Structure 1
């Protein structure tokens, strides 16, 4: 199948897009990839939906802003992809399937015997009707309902991508997005994956809260700041770091409040150290240590994060580009791949990646009222 994958991360930066030719097992070819920045009105609407989600109690009606945000997100996906396909001499009729992750506005891990909650917004039915292409979506709900973490979901794709590059285990893929997560391919046994801790998310929120921009561009603030070691130890005392994997996080699980007394530069440097130390702690829980760590996601663009990782990890630390991967497109590629697996009724999450009780199928597919071939 030729599949178009979409990803919009919790950084609320852009709609990422990538085309794969795949049967959900092997990757036959990599098509074009690209992004379109989220428009400011949609970004503000998503922030409003996220804020509503944080105050949404179980068993109460869904916040009204969810439907409005879902429609806007679907329109943003369509407009982004319509231009992207045209720029790459493709039409919607060239696409067999779409994989739309949707915009995460809530992710709560299971606690005290209670299943978690996860919400990704996006009107998949509207997108299918608009494009004439079936849309795979809602990839996390089945895993969560079965008692799994619902995240991370990219590990099975990380394995396929590594194999397509003729790589060998033990290998880790570290995605530093709003939250950082790692996939370990140990070589023997199942894939292991979990969220290590904050990625860029806390740094972005810090910079935004101080009115200093959307993110710490190239680590400029952190590069001239000093790490507050006492505060770093306090942050690392969070019970999440004692929990055994698999485990997952929401971007808002850690508060910025402890950093309020620090100047911006020192707070940014402390959060960079927090991200890297959390990865180090996570790696210490692995039975097999990776020889190589491939870093993807927006965090690899922050030289201070990459420097901190290289100082702390006992492995070769490379960026995605160092191994000829498309670092900004890995997640979009992953949801193209997962869409193909959904279409073929193959599992997308596993006991050691999400804590699901068994390999879990996931995702749903909505078909257009009028497919392309009938138009």
Structure 2
């Protein structure tokens, strides 16, 4: 277990949008955020992305998993080896399958491999303990969102919305003393966000994403698709709740008859409608909504959120945070919490039975000898 005091931790995130690996340094004691450090990004090549995509939905030992894990480990090793000054590394890996009420949760990539390559202790497998104790295993960034709200000096309830491959929201009351305190947090996945749009772009245009929502901006929304989408049973479940990247496999078929632009606009509309529906669960209306992740660059999504929600909708940069690196920073923060024996999730963030600290710490061979 780490000694008390702030340290530099290096966090890495490879999200469900499958764009690449984010890495970020954070100085923290596992409770407060003191400062933000260097950041870096490594995009997956088209071939690497294809290997990972081929393994989506697979579980350990199944076809494609070993190849995907090798891609993930190699990409992380290359990126993280170029960043110095960290005492500890937080490695999330790449989620291939997520079924908390079934087979569990599966992130490709072995932290023991990275610990040997980097010569530093690596914290990984953040989600399994939460799932084993009855939690959803996601989202895991809420404790960091709480720390960010404190760092920014906020005192009234706010919400952080991450628009990655899947959308997730954290409602935060920063007047509380700790993230696991009663009434401090509520978090859950809102619905699909960028993943269906990215898949559409790959299939129809041979591109990884709809840059800035440019294609969606040229199209018209098909309201019947959104109405049918919102009838899914997921939207009638009370939070906490979570999704797999491909939990809505019918969305692609639902827009198959539409033009490229109309399909992109409709999928963006689905993401926005899911957020609006989810915000109805907040314990109190947030004073501001801060958007992080790639979706904050999608002008169609941001405009749609501003229309449907009753509070200002702003990128997290409005309070001095980096929306491209917040998830990586979160896993730096969580790594320190794991190493110090602190909780990383609680009943109001994942539905776990009690506050629990997930994660496995792997030391490089020979460490401490």
**TM-score, reference length from structure 1:** 0.91
Deviation per residue, 1:12-56 (Å, 9 max, x gap): 1111000011111111221111211113332222112215x1xx5
Secondary structure, aligned partner of 1:365: strand
Deviation per residue, 1:204-258 (Å, 9 max, x gap): 1111121352111111111111111111101111110011000001111112111
What number of residue pairs does the alignment pair up? Answer: 354
Among 275, 278, 284, the alignment partner of 1:279 is 275
| Corresponding position of 1:104 | 95
Among 187, 190, 197, the alignment partner of 2:184 is 190
1:353 matched to 2:349: yes
Secondary structure, aligned partner of 2:310: coil
Among 333, 339, 342, the alignment partner of 2:335 is 339
Give the Cα–Cα distance (whole angstroms) in 1 for the partners of residues 284 and 217 of structure 2. Answer: 32
| Corresponding position of 2:74 | 75
| Corresponding position of 2:46 | 40
Alignment of 1:1-375 (within 5 A): 1-50=7-56, 53=58, 62-83=61-82, 85=83, 90=84, 94-110=85-101, 115=102, 117-186=104-173, 187=175, 189-254=183-248, 255=250, 256-371=252-367
Secondary structure, aligned partner of 1:202: helix
Give the Cα–Cα distance (whole angstroms) in 2 for the partners of residues 142 and 103 of structure 1. Answer: 17
CA RMSD in angstroms comes to 1.5
Deviation per residue, 1:329-371 (Å, 9 max, x gap): 0000000000000000001011011000010110000110134
Contact 2:19 2:208 in 1 (8 A): no
Give the Cα–Cα distance (whole angstroms) in 2 for the partners of residues 119 and 199 of structure 1. Answer: 20
Shift of 1:196: 0.6
Give the Cα–Cα distance (whole angstroms) in 2 for the partners of residues 212 and 331 of structure 1. Answer: 27
Q: 1:9 to 1:31 in 2, by over 3 A?
A: same
Contact 1:136 1:365 in 2 (8 A): yes
Secondary structure, aligned partner of 2:143: helix
Secondary structure, aligned partner of 2:338: helix
Secondary structure, aligned partner of 2:81: helix
Shift of 1:190: 3.1
Give the Cα–Cα distance (whole angstroms) in 2 for the partners of residues 38 and 168 of structure 1. Answer: 39
Secondary structure, aligned partner of 1:210: helix
Shift of 1:109: 3.6
**TM-score, reference length from structure 2:** 0.92
The structure 1 segments of at least 4 consecutive aligned residues displaced by more than 4 Å after TM superposition are none
Shift of 1:62: 2.1
Secondary structure, aligned partner of 1:262: coil
Give the Cα–Cα distance (whole angstroms) in 1 for the partners of residues 35 and 87 of structure 2. Answer: 14
